[in-house]
């Protein structure tokens, strides 16, 4: 009887943790369909529009490792509660933003809160479920929730935007945050990792500064061409990141345990984590514009067309632990990359006159790979380290996701913009030159599809059977 009560409490604890996880993932994608409304209302420049989209993911990605270590040292539940409160405050501010600058600022504040939630949530789940099989199932549910948040963000945004102003996509976070702040102290206990040293402030500055400068450089070159400022920023960012890596080798308690990357399975899993979100973010952003601006579909219709892919992605995440037990991690990672590549290449069938069928098929095929990636990478990361370092290891996996998300917009999104500007130099957007936009989209998904298939071959060749 006691075991039943404990089990029920454990699963309820998982449910409580999943609320903020869903929000953090949703808020990385919820703006895709809302951007036309935001642009019409606030009038941001092209650069500001990109920063509105991915400043959140960049801040989350650049600080996940630092906050994962903070949770390991000073208490994961404490960090979860603080992060949820900050996230909620940022959501209210974003919903009421009167200017593009204010919206970017509050998105950054939301990113600060989100960076505390993901690694600590994953570590708390690892602590709740000590049995490896149960833990794999719970992490599969965590990954499915995270993946579903990414996938249904545009759907939720579309439903809200059909009835309410664009600020509603942020206000929906508030009830979930309030429920978490009330329930978390009641059903979750504080977990610490034994205080393994102080967090190295210099490492936090080097990693965040290096990533910021690198992303700024990519955006600058894509938007304005090669010039002194973005090139200098890129060089400086690369130097800071090299310095960061070198510093980790000298610290007794580094932010990133580089020794984990000696394991080829772990290394390719982290590469999978980053590449998955590079491909997903760019494709969902560009296809969202395609459906609304080229085909002229209403925002709610465009959102509903994403549901089949979202359903496949979620089911794939939940079923990944069973799949891995049957075919192994190596085959599952190969299948993930191959599915993503095939799905992206199906988008080559899109035209300026129509393409709803190929779009749905592409999202469903790619959804298999996305779901496997989200679930498998998280389990590999948490299982690879002692439980006192679970927060930091989980942070590495989620950092790959979030940095990949930001770079997907910065790299592949900028590639599409470059092709569009090359073919239609005087056009203001897809409405003015739909053929040029579709050509840019095709070039981008072809590059992404080939990248995914290349990673499938690399995984097949480099990982042991």
Residue-level pLDDT at 190: 62
Q: In this predicted model, what pLDDT tens digit does every residue of 199-249 receive, in sequence order?
A: 778 888 888 788 778 777 876 776 666 788 889 998 999 999 999 999 988
Res 242: pLDDT: 94
Top mean pLDDT of 259-263, 377-381, 408-412, 445-449 is at 445-449
Q: pLDDT tens digit string along 133-189?
A: 777 777 777 777 776 776 677 777 777 887 888 899 899 889 989 998 988 888 776
Token readout for 67 is 């906050």
**How far, in whole angstroms, is CA 283 from its chain's centroid?**
13
pLDDT exceeds cutoff 80 at 50: no
Instruction: Count CA atoms closer than 13 A to 1's CA, side-chain side.
Output: 0
State residue 390's pLDDT score: 57
pLDDT digits (tens, 9 = 90+) for 62-120: 777 677 667 666 667 788 888 889 999 999 999 999 999 999 999 999 988 887 876 67
Residue with tokens 């549901």: 307
| C-alpha distance from residue 173 to each of 30, 86, 159, 332 (Å) | 11, 12, 15, 34
- Residue partners of 243: CB distance under 8 A and separation at least 6: 206, 210
Among 389, 453, 400, which residue's Cα sits nearest to residue 254? Answer: 389
Q: In the predicted model, is pLDDT for residue 421 greater than 90?
A: no
CA dihedral over 147, 128, 172, 57, signed as positive or negative:
negative
Most confident residue range from 55-64, 315-324, 403-412: 315-324
* Range 279-289 average pLDDT: 84
| Structural tokens at position 52 | 């509105």
CA distance 149 to 176: 13
Q: What does the pLDDT read at residue 67?
A: 76
User: Any idea where the domains of the chain sit in the sequence?
Assistant: 6-186+255-462, 201-254
- 6-186+255-462 CATH choice from 3.40.50.2020, 1.20.1090.10, 1.20.1250.20, 3.30.365.10: 1.20.1250.20
Which range (47-51, 270-274, 456-460) has the least confidence?
Answer: 47-51
Q: pLDDT, tens digit, for every residue of 439-456?
A: 999 999 999 999 999 999
In this prediction the pTM is 0.72
The DSSP code sequence of 63-129 is HHHHHHHHHHHH-HHHHHHHHHHHHHHHHHHHHT--SHHHHHHHHHHHHHHHHHHHHHHHHHHHHH-
pLDDT over 90, % of the chain: 21
């Amino acid at each position: 009887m006691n075991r039943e009560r404990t089990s029920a409490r454990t699963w309820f604890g998982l449910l409580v943790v999943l609320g903020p996880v869903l929000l953090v993932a949703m808020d990385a994608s919820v703006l895709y369909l809302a951007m036309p409304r935001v642009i019409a209302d606030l009038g941001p420049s092209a650069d500001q529009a990109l920063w509105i989209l991915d400043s959140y993911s960049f801040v989350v990605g650049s600080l996940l490792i630092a906050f994962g270590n903070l949770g390991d040292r000073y208490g994961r539940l404490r960090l979860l509660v603080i992060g949820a409160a900050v996230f909620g405050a940022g959501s209210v501010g974003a919903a009421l933003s009167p200017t593009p600058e204010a919206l970017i600022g509050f998105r950054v504040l939301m990113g600060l809160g989100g960076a505390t939630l993901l690694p600590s949530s994953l570590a708390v789940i690892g602590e709740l479920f000590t049995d490896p099989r149960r833990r794999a199932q719970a992490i599969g549910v965590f990954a499915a929730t995270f993946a579903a948040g990414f996938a249904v963000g545009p759907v939720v945004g579309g439903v809200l935007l059909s009835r309410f102003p664009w600020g509603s996509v942020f206000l929906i976070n508030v009830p979930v945050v309030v429920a978490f702040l009330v329930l978390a102290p009641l059903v979750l206990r504080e977990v610490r990792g034994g205080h393994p040293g102080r967090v190295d402030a210099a490492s936090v500055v080097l990693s965040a500064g290096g990533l910021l400068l690198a992303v700024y450089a990519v955006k600058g070159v894509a938007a304005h061409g090669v010039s002194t400022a973005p090139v200098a920023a890129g060089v400086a960012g690369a130097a800071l990141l090299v310095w960061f890596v070198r510093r980790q080798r000298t610290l007794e308690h580094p932010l990133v345990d580089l020794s984990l990357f000696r394991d080829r399975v772990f290394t390719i899993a982290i590469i999978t984590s980053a590449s998955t979100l590079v491909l997903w973010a760019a494709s969902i952003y560009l296809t969202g514009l395609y459906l609304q601006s080229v085909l002229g579909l209403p925002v709610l219709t465009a959102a509903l067309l994403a549901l089949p892919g979202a359903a496949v992605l979620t089911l794939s995440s939940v079923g990944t632990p069973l799949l891995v037990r049957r075919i192994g991690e190596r085959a599952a990672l190969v299948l993930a990359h191959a599915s993503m590549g095939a799905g992206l290449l199906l988008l080559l069938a899109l035209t300026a006159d129509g393409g709803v069928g190929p779009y749905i098929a592409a999202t469903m095929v790619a959804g298999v790979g996305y779901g496997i990636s989200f679930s498998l990478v998280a389990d590999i990361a948490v299982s690879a380290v002692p439980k006192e370092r679970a927060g930091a290891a989980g942070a590495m996996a989620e950092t790959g996701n979030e940095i990949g998300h930001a770079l997907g917009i910065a790299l592949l999104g900028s590639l599409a913009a470059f092709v569009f500007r090359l073919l239609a130099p005087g056009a203001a957007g897809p409405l003015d030159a739909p053929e040029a936009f579709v050509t840019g989209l095709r070039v981008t998904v072809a590059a992404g599809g080939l990248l995914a298939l290349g990673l499938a071959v690399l995984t097949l060749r480099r990982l042991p059977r």
